[in-house]
Amino acid sequence: PAGRKVLIVYAHQEPKSLNGSLKRVAVEELSKQGCSVTVSDLYAMQFEPRATRNDIVGCLHNSEEFDYGVETWEAYKRGALSNDLIEEQKKVQEADLLIFQFPLYWFSMPAIMKGWMDRVLVQGFAHEFPNCYDSGLLKNKLALFSFTTGGSREMYAKGGISGDIRYLLWPMQHGIMHFCGVKVLAPHICFAPEYVSEEKRKEMLVAWAQRLKTLWKEEPINCSPEWYFK
């Protein structure tokens, strides 16, 4: 793994939170392995989640009627995206592995992270029909979703009140990452950290550090509906 590049996209307001600690553990463990690790701390950066006209520098391709997808695609081709997007795309381009670290909000990622997906994964950069899914433009990269939940493991079981946690991963892992050609490693989920002892939370951090030690040996999950819905 020495020489591999990792980008951690991190969305939590409080560094002392479990998410903050999971991010710190990943930085420490991966750096120890000789990886170079970059963190996009979205709240600290005050990352703009809204997809707007401001994402295009200079004139629009069609000033009569604004179409965000078309405009950012055209702007990407002529190097006219806003600086914050160019920066994030550079980080993604260089990374071998993307780790997304966040608390689950309403069965999904926090708005600031969804905004990162909406704005950074521009057509022409991350996908360009028919180059999507297995032929997406970010192939040869890996992604891993590491997150905390409010609900317990039982609530997120197949017969549980919230349904199988894998159902929620379909839009994130399949609809975004796999769509862009990225291979996905099994998610890392810390269930209901608020409701367990300090001791248990420490164990969660140790388990994450342990997993990171052998992460590069892992095989990606099977990128098909079966993994999510069987």
The tens digit of pLDDT for each residue in 205-229 reads 999 999 999 999 999 999 999 999 9
Is the pLDDT score of 2 beyond 90? no
Looking at residue 147, which CATH number applies to its domain? 3.40.50.360
The sign of the dihedral angle between the CA atoms of 179, 182, 186, 192 is: negative
Average pLDDT score over residue span 134-144: 97
Contact status, residue 135 vs residue 181, Cβ threshold 8 Å = yes
Contact 9, 98 (CB under 8 A): yes
Digit-coded pLDDT (tens) for 47-63 = 999 999 999 999 999 99
pLDDT, average across residues 76-96: 98
CA 106 to chain CA centroid, nearest Å? 16
Quote the domain boundaries for residue 18.
5-229
Average pLDDT of the chain? Answer: 97
Please tell me the pTM assigned to this model: 0.97
Q: What is the share, in percent, of the chain residues with pLDDT greater than 90?
A: 98
**Nearest partner of 47 among 97, 138, 118, judged by Cα:** 118
Residue 173 burial (CB count, 10 A): 25
Rounded distance, CA 13 to CA 20, Å?
9
Domain total in the chain? 1
- Asked whether the predicted pLDDT for residue 181 surpasses 90, the reply is yes
The separation between the first and the last C-alpha atoms of the chain, rounded to the nearest angstrom, is 33
